[in-house]
Structure 1
Amino acid sequence: MTFDQLCAFHAVATRGTFAAAAKALHKSQPAITKLVQNLESELDVVLFDRAAYRATLTDAGRRFLERAAQVVADTESLTTYGRALGRGAEPQVRLVIEAITPLRPVLAALSRVRAAFPLVRLELRTERLAGTVETLTNGSADLVIANAEALERRKMQAMHFARVRIVPVVRRDHPLAQAGSPAPLAALREHPQVVLTDSARVEPAPPINVVEGGLRWTVTDVTAKLQIIEAGLGWGGLPEHVVRAGIRKGTLAALSVHQFETEVIELVTLRHKERAQGPVARALWDELGARPGRTSRSAEAPGTKRG
């Protein structure tokens, strides 16, 4: 029994006719017929009932297909893996992204890389502020998407990825939503500002868009921050792509906060200049730069300051 015989049998069984199997395998129909006949002869079993136009599996053929399909799939997977090894593909790529990163363009890039390297493992995780770049400097990431302000440019190669607008928001019925525009500093200080903490272990970055002298609630991810704000327990700045739907539905209100100094955050893809990378990491770098993100349009009225 040969792998070609198994492939021919599997193709006929799954496509219904010898002609369709021949087309799928780029062989002549007589060649497919001969392969299946030889397989039946070697096994001394009839796998197909050929009385009808379509090749119908016998009971023995159906049972044999269960095992044969797995062998064909495993062999094709092993072939793909071997070819990847031949290209020097690394077994795993580690991508770390800033918590405010829009995922859609990241997933599009990962999809294209997976098509070329289907067996490579991916480790994708989020960090915050300086903690994102720290994973690259300490060697726990191969590529990162980080705030451009957090760079150590002497050792990093940077490539623009996206610009993310930060919109200060509050639940529609929160007192701050009726406090006026711009929101008075005293009112902002009176209510909890929900803030993402820096995940850096060594050297945290200075806080961004934090009102001095106010009450702070700290969280470690964007989802928790959004849910706290949606519950009416505080206010804070979030990526526009995260709050756009809530503003449109009227469940969230955008605030004008003059104390916010950063309206748009530039995100960049980074890799370490002094570390060699395998073909998968290089391919992911290229794909992340192939279709850079764009600054999203404002979900607020013109002239409203974001943070």
Structure 2
Amino acid sequence: MTVEEMNKPASFKLHDLRCFDAVARLGSFQAAANALHRTHPSVFAAVTRLEERLGLTLLDRSGYRVELTEAGRMFHARAGISLRELDNLDSYARQLAIGEEPLLRIVLGDLCNRPSILGALSTFFVDRPRTRLHLDYEAVSGPFERLRDGSADLIFHRAAASRTDLEQIRLCEIRLLPVAAPGFLPHEAGSEVTPQQLQSFTQCVIRDTARDTTPENHFLIDGAPRCSVPDHTMKKELILHRMAWGHLPEFMIEDELRVGALISLQGRYLPGRTETLAAMRRIDRPHGPVAEELWGWLTDGLREF
């Protein structure tokens, strides 16, 4: 073989590659022909043609059963990977052709009532088995970063009224209340606790999961010691164990407030805040058919959040 021939890209048919793969897996030309619904001579010719185009002897035909040569084993290992990728690509194209994208990436933010959101998504996706739902969690500015870098198709997070680059569907209001466990603070429950009185007590805050964070003041008390946690569930546990105080969504602590396991610090100096939970997506990106169906479903308000 000349240098020019060695450097020339191999050109072979996918049909020939599939015939070789079948012979390698099944151990005979006849078995491969039966599996592929071809004739024995056509499969034999396809494999011979592939060997000629590659300049390799892939099969040892000297015995009762055909065997892979060393080159054949190495080539078949790579060919198997390529054939699986082609099959996946074919499946992907067929799913697109019938109008359902294979994957939808959704990020839940730190304010989400997860049982409610997951219940809604379960209801929507039960009739769309061809689309796989990929869920992630991000906090503070993390969900917005995921939209910006294109690794999320849709997020559920606090509404951002000033963001003109996003479409937003307002879903519900979330009240955030300042709370502490009984005995954590020396002040009587219901008294007007001031920020100055809290400066010596640990405040629990949610960590921002974004890589490029921007300074945001979420109820921070200047000069107070702080501890950070990944989500409100962990934050609630720390507060219940008298390790810190902090703001929590009201839907998470209704029972604890009712039985006195937590005490509200809400008052003139610590008013809390009401946030709007929204579904958001980018305006400048195309969205697949299932993503559009989900957006319309959320717009129509078919689920209580």
Bin of the TM-score, shorter chain as denominator length: 0.5 to 0.7
Q: 1:213 to 1:149 in 2, by over 3 A?
A: farther
Q: 1:284 to 1:109 in 2, by over 3 A?
A: farther
Q: Secondary structure at the match of 2:199?
A: helix
Q: What does the per-residue CA deviation read over 1:187-235, in whole Å, with 9 as the maximum and x for residues that have no partner? A: 3111101011222222425121111221111111111111110101110
- 133-142 or 111-120, which moves further after superposition? 111-120
Structure 1 residue 250 displacement after superposition:
1.6
2:211 partner amino acid: R
Q: Tell whether 2:224 aligns with 1:214.
A: yes
2:155 to 137, 140, 144: 144
1:254 to 260, 264, 267: 264
1:170 touches 1:235 (CA, 8 Å); kept in 2?
yes
Q: Secondary structure at the match of 1:149?
A: coil
Structure 1 residue 259 displacement after superposition:
4.3
Percentage identity across paired residues of the two chains = 31
1:129 to 140, 146, 168: 140
What does residue 206 of structure 2 align with? 196
Q: Specify every segment of 5 or more residues in structure 2 that has no aligned partner in the other structure, as ranges.
A: 1-91
Q: Tell whether 2:282 aligns with 1:272.
A: yes
What is the alpha-carbon distance in structure 1 between the residues aligned to residue 223 and residue 114 of structure 2?
Answer: 34
1:113 touches 1:283 (CA, 8 Å); kept in 2?
no
Q: Secondary structure at the match of 1:166?
A: strand
What does residue 105 of structure 2 align with? 94
Structure 1 residue 87 displacement after superposition:
2.6
2:253 to 239, 243, 252: 243
2:176 touches 2:250 (CA, 8 Å); kept in 1?
yes
Q: Specify every segment of 5 or more residues in structure 1 that has no aligned partner in the other structure, as ranges.
A: 1-80, 295-307
Structure 1 residue 103 displacement after superposition:
2.1
Structure 1 residue 248 displacement after superposition:
1.4
What is the alpha-carbon distance in structure 1 between the residues aligned to residue 169 and residue 192 of structure 2?
Answer: 35
What is the aligned residue count?
214
What does residue 128 of structure 2 align with? 117
Q: How does 1:1-307 map to 2 (within 5 A)?
A: 85-149=96-160, 152-153=163-164, 155-176=165-186, 178=188, 181-260=191-270, 263-289=273-299, 290-291=301-302
Q: 1:134 to 1:292 in 2, by over 3 A?
A: farther
1:181 touches 1:256 (CA, 8 Å); kept in 2?
no
Q: Which has the larger radius of gyration?
A: 2
Q: Secondary structure at the match of 1:274?
A: coil
2:182 partner amino acid: R
Q: Secondary structure at the match of 2:218?
A: coil
TM-score, normalisation: structure 2: 0.64
What is the alpha-carbon distance in structure 2 between the residues aligned to residue 107 and residue 92 of structure 1?
Answer: 17
Q: Secondary structure at the match of 1:173?
A: coil
Q: What does the per-residue CA deviation read over 1:92-126, in whole Å, with 9 as the maximum and x for residues that have no partner? A: 11111211111233123212321221232111122
What is the alpha-carbon distance in structure 2 between the residues aligned to residue 287 and residue 176 of structure 1?
Answer: 49
What is the alpha-carbon distance in structure 2 between the residues aligned to residue 262 and residue 175 of structure 1?
Answer: 18
Q: Secondary structure at the match of 2:163?
A: coil
- 89-98 or 195-204, which moves further after superposition? 195-204
Structure 1 residue 279 displacement after superposition:
1.6
What is the alpha-carbon distance in structure 1 between the residues aligned to residue 141 and residue 163 of structure 2?
Answer: 10
1:247 touches 1:254 (CA, 8 Å); kept in 2?
yes
Question: Alpha carbon RMSD of aligned pairs, Å?
Answer: 2.5
1:128 touches 1:197 (CA, 8 Å); kept in 2?
yes
What is the alpha-carbon distance in structure 2 between the residues aligned to residue 156 and residue 223 of structure 1?
Answer: 28
TM-score, normalisation: structure 1: 0.63
Q: Secondary structure at the match of 2:178?
A: strand
1:150 touches 1:205 (CA, 8 Å); kept in 2?
no
Structure 1 residue 176 displacement after superposition:
4.7
